[in-house]
């Protein structure tokens, strides 16, 4: 298989992508598995970008091959970067390539839209899985008041229907202490910053429970995130 012809400024575009990601040639070599001398040769135009090389570089940048090619090989490359396109408003007329800038902005918008759409799809899949699995998910504040509750168990069992908005103590008092989930004492340990895992028998089933601290920026532990999965005998 013949290597593709070197696109104009391929080396410059590769170097720009590397530098804007904050990587040295050595960093890129380590992440891609390509030797540093090869990275240097690519950036200076002394070596052609073979398909296998482009795939390795794309993986190193966390891009698909299509995204990488658009960034470094197309005639009007889209900048697949995590920083906005900048325009020098003080430049002399004619020094700002508006066509290229607009193309970059459009590509960034398309990439952002793609990432948001993919995130929404992944989040939707996770929610559907949670709704179909015998699980209970909840989140409390520092006072152990339940802020959210979701999952198959929350929808199928009336006992958890009024969990949200109540403290765990209020909920267990309301159910007469007959419902072991969510457990109170382990939550208090988690508020100290320590995750807890435990098994809770209830009726014919055993529930696997995992509790993690909910950490807010600059304020420490602000609550608890809990997950209980039913394990039938």
- The alpha carbon of 19 is separated from its chain's Cα centroid by a whole number of angstroms, namely 23
- Orientation of helix 51-61 relative to helix 65-72, angle to 10°: 100
Which tens digits make up the pLDDT trace of 123-175? 666 666 555 567 888 899 999 999 888 777 666 666 676 788 899 999 888 88
Residue 165, both tokens: 């908005």
Domain boundaries for CATH 1.10.260.40 within the chain: 10-84+94-124
* pLDDT greater than 90 at residue 94: no
CATH code for the domain defined by 133-231: 3.30.450.20
Among the residue ranges 3-12, 103-112, 137-146, 194-203, the one predicted with the least confidence is 3-12
- Which pLDDT score is estimated for 79? 37
Q: 224 falls in which pLDDT band (50, 70, 90)? A: very high
Read out DSSP for 90-107? TSPTTSS-HHHHHHHHHH
- Which pLDDT score is estimated for 70? 80
- Which pLDDT score is estimated for 144? 93
Torsional sign, CA 4, 5, 9, 11:
positive
Q: Where are the alpha helices (DSSP H) in 21-97?
A: 25-32, 36-43, 51-61, 65-72
Burial label for 225, CB within 10 Å (0-12, 13-18, 19+), is middle
Domain boundaries for CATH 3.30.450.20 within the chain: 133-231
- Which pLDDT score is estimated for 96? 46
Regarding the domain delimited by 10-84+94-124, which CATH topology (the fold level of the hierarchy) does it fall under?
A: 434 Repressor (Amino-terminal Domain) (1.10.260)
0.75 cut: is pTM over it?
no
Which tens digits make up the pLDDT trace of 164-212? 889 999 988 888 878 888 889 999 999 988 888 889 888 788 888 899 9
8 Å CB contact between 81 and 20: yes
Which tens digits make up the pLDDT trace of 20-64? 778 899 989 988 899 999 999 998 888 888 888 888 998 888 888
């Amino acid at each position: 298989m013949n290597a593709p012809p070197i696109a104009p400024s391929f080396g410059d575009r590769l170097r720009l992508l590397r530098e804007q990601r904050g990587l040295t040639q050595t960093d890129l070599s380590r992440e891609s598995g390509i030797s540093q001398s090869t990275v240097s040769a690519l950036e200076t135009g002394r070596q052609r970008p073979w398909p296998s090389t482009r795939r390795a570089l794309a993986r190193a940048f966390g891009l698909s091959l299509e995204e990488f090619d658009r960034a470094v090989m197309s005639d009007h490359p889209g900048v697949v970067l995590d920083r906005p396109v900048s325009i020098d408003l003080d430049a002399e007329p004619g020094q700002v390539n508006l066509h290229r800038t607009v193309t970059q902005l459009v590509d960034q918008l398309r990439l952002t839209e793609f990432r948001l759409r993919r995130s929404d799809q992944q989040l939707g899949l996770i929610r559907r899985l949670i709704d179909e699995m015998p699980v209970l998910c909840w989140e409390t504040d520092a006072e152990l008041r339940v802020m959210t509750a979701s999952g198959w168990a929350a929808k199928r069992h009336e006992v958890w229907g009024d969990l949200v908005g109540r403290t765990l103590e209020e909920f267990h008092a309301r159910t007469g202490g007959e419902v072991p989930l969510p457990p109170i004492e382990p939550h208090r340990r988690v508020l100290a910053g320590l995750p807890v895992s435990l098994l809770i028998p209830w009726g014919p089933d055993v529930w696997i429970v995992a509790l993690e601290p909910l950490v807010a920026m600059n304020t420490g532990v602000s609550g608890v995130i809990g997950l209980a999965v039913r394990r039938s005998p």
